[in-house]
Structure 1
Amino acid sequence: MKPLLSTELPNFLKRFGDFVDAEIRSMEAISPTVIQVVIAAQDSARGFDWLSISLEFSNITDAKLINNSKLSLVDMSEGLTLFFQDNYFVLSINNYNNLSSVKDALFYIISSSIKYEEGLF
């Protein structure tokens, strides 16, 4: 897995179209402070082919997860929000732009670091 730096976030999100109409395939708590999320998305760097992206969040300070059996019901038409604020990375469904508002999201993860890995669709 490769680290995702805060300075790379805008290009990362642009590459995957803000994960609009993507599919969250799974969420797994590896440990109390590490969560892995697997997302199927289109990659503009590969002619919009579909691929899987594994995101690993470490040093988690707060999270609200969705049961894996309900992931197929999640509306991803607005994509994902991924931002960096106050030394924390924040991932959530829909459009949230600060730490205080993200707590209202259906799903969110707040952590101090992110790694990612590209895989087959």
Structure 2
Amino acid sequence: MPIKPLTAQTLSALLSRIDNARYGEVRSVSALSSSSIEVQLSAQDIARGYDWIDVAFRIDGVRDAKLVSDNVLEMLDMREGISVSIDNEGCALAIGGYSGREGEAPFYILGTSLGYEELPFSG
């Protein structure tokens, strides 16, 4: 399944469906190019009776990022889930409750566009 672009409206619906990935797990962070990063995480899908799914978010036009090494991913605190925003300035994805201030998070990516892909659970 190809990456689907996200708008503010479709993003809101997706985040509601996965409850902002609260108590989920970051599975991987991959630099696809010098300006594109993919973050894959596992979350419960309310629309599927709380079954676990993986969701890959792809941020293009990356202009700033603060990432962690692979061996730290499983230790990221996901109690507050993720903060994701899209506006006229671009998009942002952060770990934790940093809505509107994603650039302050210990893990964040700021870019120009955002898309996602639903994947089978990798648990």
TM-score, normalized by the shorter chain, greater than 0.5: yes
Tell me the CA shift for residue 103 of structure 1.
2.6
Could you say which structure has the higher strand fraction?
1
Provide Cα deviations, 1:39-59, integer angstroms capped at 9, x if missing partner: 011111111100111111101
**Mapped contact 2:7–2:86 kept (Cα < 8 A):** no
Residue 109 of structure 1 corresponds to: 109
Counterpart position of 1:118 = 118
- The residue identity in structure 1 corresponding to 2:16 is K
User: With structure 2 as the length reference, what TM-score do the two structures score?
Assistant: 0.91
SS of residue matched to 2:63: strand
Structure 1: gaps of 5 or more residues: none
Letter in 2 for 1:76: M
Partner of 1:50: 52
* Paired-residue identity, %: 35
The counterpart of 1:18, out of the listed 16, 20, 34, is: 20
1:1-121 paired onto structure 2 within 5 Å: 1-98=3-100, 101-121=101-121
Closer, same or farther: CA 48–21 of 1 in aligned 2, 3 Å: same
TM-superposition CA deviations, 1:57-95 (whole Å, max 9, x none): 101111111111110111100110011234211111111
Tell me which amino acid in the other structure corresponds to 2:118. E
Q: Please give the secondary structure, in 1, of the residue aligned with 2:40.
A: strand
Distance 1:85 1:76 in 2: 24
CA-atom RMSD, angstroms? 1.2
How many equivalent residue pairs?
A: 119
**Gap regions ≥5 residues in structure 2:** none
TM-score by length of 1: 0.92
CA distance in 1, matches of 2:44, 2:111: 25
* Conserved 8 A contact 2:66-2:106: yes
